[in-house]
Structure 1
């Protein structure tokens, strides 16, 4: 994995975030406009990234084995991150409810909204496909463990699992299944998903820039003291521990590199929606998402550089 390639991709995304900040400062961008961006990225662009990866990849037994390994590691590593973050939050003296909330922000990264487009940019179509599998593992943890933690004592409900049924996951299943049976999509479909996949990264970064500008306009550069814990854990501590673990595992180079990038992501975007629904701490979530995204422009290349020293 080339640090310069990663740094270039991150720099470009940072510039697009800046454009989003500028646009939001020059005009009023309401809730509906932001929802259009989110829906377009999650339900159109990201599924297209995944399908484009399938259409341009030879789905061999080796790739299917990598998919299984990545999904298992994604679930296992994110569960481990939850346990570790919760234990550290309690050791730091946070109340039970606050510790649960900060754990969700610290343990779970933006593997879908940023991770999939970034891996597709760095590693090509197959990178986007494997990153989508990492995100599928994260989704499982989000809609089971994370929601349970945010409900602060409420029991787990099976209907929470319906949120696992989403278009990106459907794209993974449909794409790999079609490739497995030898289905060849028409040329128009191939060109369509290739064009739409190019929307993912720019629109996602514009949305983050808009979100960031609106947060700063509302609160300034003030950072709640408690937010430093999820920032340090999400961007430095967890990726550092993850690197040590991955160094001990006999993984294919692409599998390891996709995991390194995906697990170094800032706090996941969906946290703002979940906090709005289950808690009264939405600003804490938005603040963590925004500042972790800004800081990740520096920490992701740093983690990449450290990985080169280990592997």
Structure 2
């Protein structure tokens, strides 16, 4: 029962309504779990929803049982937005490391065990939880098994398969799915005043990922860069091994520091994934769901067997995992270019 609690949730999300309603219901009924796993591909809004859930639990209105959540005005909300709230701890892999280390998790656990300072809950968010080292995951396990009162831990991961089964079995699992193309179109037109042409194009490209759609709308230069990467992928598919290596090298030239180079390589692989997806769709053929309409004529000219396309999709998934594990971005792109 909600005991008369009534809130107006200020959560700017669409899609995955079952998850949003579940979390809001847990607040209304005061049945907040101590451990959640938010699983799904990038740009579905996992991190943003975790932040809004955390801010709602710390908001002054939560204590009063009514009003907006989060209100955005109380001291707890302002600190949460700034990322400076003492009762929210965010842990992620360091840029120069392959994993979240056991030392990082020990520090994380110490903070969790201190309990809340200014609110009812102490919230810990671990981003890219797939990068937890085995030792770090084992250290975290004890805290998950014997949580302190008021501790809420949220792991963000691309897939449950990337997490140890012992971790997965103890969590409240929330699986994020891509939003419908129509939802993204309406969101861009109604909330961001995008033109119909812009909204249609971005809705196709974003492939159901709301956070990516918002990024694309705010970055017009992305479209020309994306088109270049798409055509680069199509060239690679039609080239000899030596030419593939040369083209992959051109894509990673002038990538900057290690962090920027990894981000650029991951972005390239993500776009290549959409090309392979389009080729899979056209092999059936299902043209209406093709994301890269700008290259539709070229895509139609490429005829690859289904087993080759499935193998390419697997190679791209593996490449993204290698990037996340801090493998040299250029080597990853070169390796993938030879396999697709």
TM-score, L = length of structure 2: 0.23
Q: Which structure exhibits the higher relative contact order, with contacts defined as CA atoms closer than 8 Å and separated by 6 or more residues?
A: 1
* Higher fraction of strand: 2
Larger radius of gyration: 2
